[in-house]
Amino acid sequence: MILDLSWIGLQIDFVLFGIAISNFFGMPLDVLLCTVMFVLACASLLIGYPVAFTLPGISVIFAGLGFAMGIFDFSILGGISQRIYGTMTNVVMMAVPLFVFMGVMLERSQIAEDLLESMGKLMGRIRGGLGISVTIVGALLAASTGIVGATVVIMGLMALPTMLNRGYSPAVATGGIAAAGTLGQIIPPSIVLVLLGDQLSSAWQASQLAQGNFSPTPLSVGDLFAGALIPGLGLVLLYILYQSLTAIFLPNSCPAVMDEEEKIDLKPVLAAFLPPIILVVAVLGSILAGIATPTEAAALGAVGAILMAGYKNDKSKPLPVMVAGISIVILIFLGMVFDLRMGRQTIAVMDYIAFGISIPLMIAMIWGIADSFMRIYRNKVIHEVMQMTAKISSMIFIIMVGAALFTLIFLGFNGDFYITEFLSNLPGGRLGAFLLVMVVMFALGFFLDFIQIVFVVVPIVAPVLFLMDINPIWLGVMMAMNLQTSFLTPPFGYALFYLRGVAPEDKVKTTDIYRGVLPFILIQVVALIILYNFEGLVTWLPAVIFGTGL
């Protein structure tokens, strides 16, 4: 009884304290608490506290304060178990570890190194050719890994010493490498787009239900992949155009690295260049053609990476790899043309024949994959790949769990209502709200990783923007390119820190890196302006391929 009275007295003290604070700041208590919670979470992350503990820790503390002050219903926390279960059973999110595996496998098996060397030989006789090669290889690696840090470090270690030794200006060399490394944000298939697509899909469904649309057109990761394809490739072309103009007007800053008399053997060039292109086209093409979901395409990419790494580790025995690759292609074709399900009541004769053909093909495919796997196992490659995949994937999913709790408690304080009111009343209406969100995400990109921004900011602001009649595919691509620009912008851009870490200090100054990326930042800004004014560059391809009329 005494304990109950003590608790009641303590709760009264908390309520009175809350009222006093509310009166002091001149705003409702729930507005104050959710604002302080968001600011404190961002500040803790900026200081360097682990995001996996910061988000849930701050969320629980503020939930307790809100409950003590009588403005938070603790029963809301009962929904966190359902959110975690939904996250872990989300079929789309299963693509994340598979895409990570594919990218890390291509990196650890030195396929990227062969690709850059071959492209350098192919374009080495052209002024600025090595810089253009870096952009093309960076785009391919971006489509394979989708991780900014990995691509920048790989390109910095492999290409930068060669470019400097061959007479490239430090600014031109580092600018091209940093810019190429950030292409993983926008070129599909990309982990960034997978995570962003999942969060935008949930926000899109919530906004449509709030407007009374109980059967909204679903938003998929495939829609976002299709929407980002033209802007991503367009950005690569703008990079190459700038590098070509630099070679014309500043020839001494990017000289040719090979003599014109030196002959080029196309066979090794094609051997290194074609497999990664085929892999990327197969993964992305299977999604855009509707043959596979993003998760199934990611599995195809992981298997393709194993086969490529197996061939790279032992080129003397190409037969198992070739047999497995051909078998996969034929199996995909059979799956497209015939119905191979055997549990049906009536089965056509041709379906039986196709099913019979698929059995030896499956055996041949398993044989080739197993042989490739044993090769990379004996060379200890698979050990590093599995460890890196587990680390990156577990980091992503634990952040998702923490962010789910943070978002749930933020909504429990009616944060979504106040965010809607704030953005809706901004001067400029739709444009003002959109610009504010983009500026905030750009600033956060200086200090936070894209995973944290996607899971913390997007669920809060995206539903509000959707209520203003903003296309979700267009918004996702604009966000991805905005973050890409942020990671490239001095003095805090992520890509610059990664490159500074691998660049030789005696040959490259930090100011060289800053000067080198400035033209690419300008290109990014121009690209954002173009996409803002010509929304069809993003929405046209999803409408043509998937018939998406969002």
Residue-wise pLDDT tens digits, 498-520: 788 778 888 888 888 889 999 99
When pLDDT is cut at 50, 70 and 90, the band that residue 238 belongs to is very high
Contact between residue 147 and residue 191 where contact means Cβ atoms under 8 Å apart: yes
Give CA–CA dist 498/156, Å, rounded. 9
489 pLDDT exceeds 70? yes
pLDDT recorded at residue 3: 46
- Cα distances (angstroms) measured from residue 436 to each of 121, 432, 548: 46, 6, 28
As a dihedral over the C-alpha atoms of residue 89, residue 92, residue 93, residue 96, rounded to 10 degrees, the angle is: 140
Which pLDDT score is estimated for 211? 74
Phi, psi of 414 (to 5 degrees): 65, 30
Which of the four pLDDT bands, split at 50, 70 and 90, describes residue 142? Answer: low
As a whole number of angstroms, the distance between CA 467 and CA 477 comes to 18
Amino acid identity of residue 121, one-letter, is: K
User: What is the pLDDT of the chain when averaged over all its residues?
Assistant: 80
pLDDT in the model for residue 289 = 77
Tens digit of each residue's pLDDT (9 = 90 or more) over 188-210: 877 788 888 888 888 888 787 77
Mean pLDDT along residues 436-446: 85
Task: Decide if 418 contacts 87 (C-beta within 8 A).
Answer: no
In tens, the pLDDT along 258-299 reads 665 666 666 767 777 777 778 877 887 888 777 788 888 888
Say which amino acid occupies 5. L
Q: Which residue has the higher pLDDT, 243 or 447?
A: 243
- What mean pLDDT comes out for the span 136-144? 73
**Which residues have a Cβ under 8 Å from the Cβ of 61 and sit 6 or more positions away?**
none
- For residue 519, what pLDDT is reported? 93
pLDDT average, residue stretch 399-422: 79
CA atoms within 13 A on the CB side of 298: 25
Q: Look at 23-27, 112-116, 417-421 and tell me which has the smallest mean pLDDT.
A: 23-27
Residue 231 preceded by cis peptide, ω within 30: no
Query: Widest CA span of the chain, in angstroms?
Result: 96
Question: 531 falls in which pLDDT band (50, 70, 90)?
Answer: very high
pLDDT value of position 27: 63
Specify the DSSP class assigned to residue 185: G
**pLDDT bracket for residue 23 (50, 70, 90):** low
15 pLDDT more than 70 = no
Distance, CA of 459 to CA of 83 (rounded, Å): 13
pLDDT of residue 11: 52
Instruction: Name the phi and psi angles at 346, rounded to 5.
Output: -120, 125
- pLDDT category at 230 given cuts 50, 70, 90 is very high
Residue 550: the pLDDT is 64
Structure tokens at 160: 């930068």
Specify the higher pLDDT residue, 11 or 135.
135
Least confident of 104-118, 309-323, 332-346, 385-399: 104-118
* Residue 86 scores a pLDDT above 80: no
**Residue 5 reports pLDDT greater than 60:** no
Confidence check: pLDDT of 32 > 60? yes
**pLDDT tens digits for range 297-325:** 888 888 988 998 888 887 788 888 889 98
Q: What percentage of the chain exceeds 70 in pLDDT? A: 89
The predicted structure's pLDDT at residue 21 = 61
Q: What is the mean pLDDT of residues 29-49?
A: 77
Confidence of residue 1 (pLDDT cuts 50, 70, 90): very low
Reading the block at residue 195, the tokens are 């995570």
pLDDT above 90 (res 94): no
Cβ distance 84 to 399 under 8 Å? no
pLDDT at 441 over 70: yes
Q: Which residues contact 281 (CB under 8 A, 6 or more apart)?
A: none
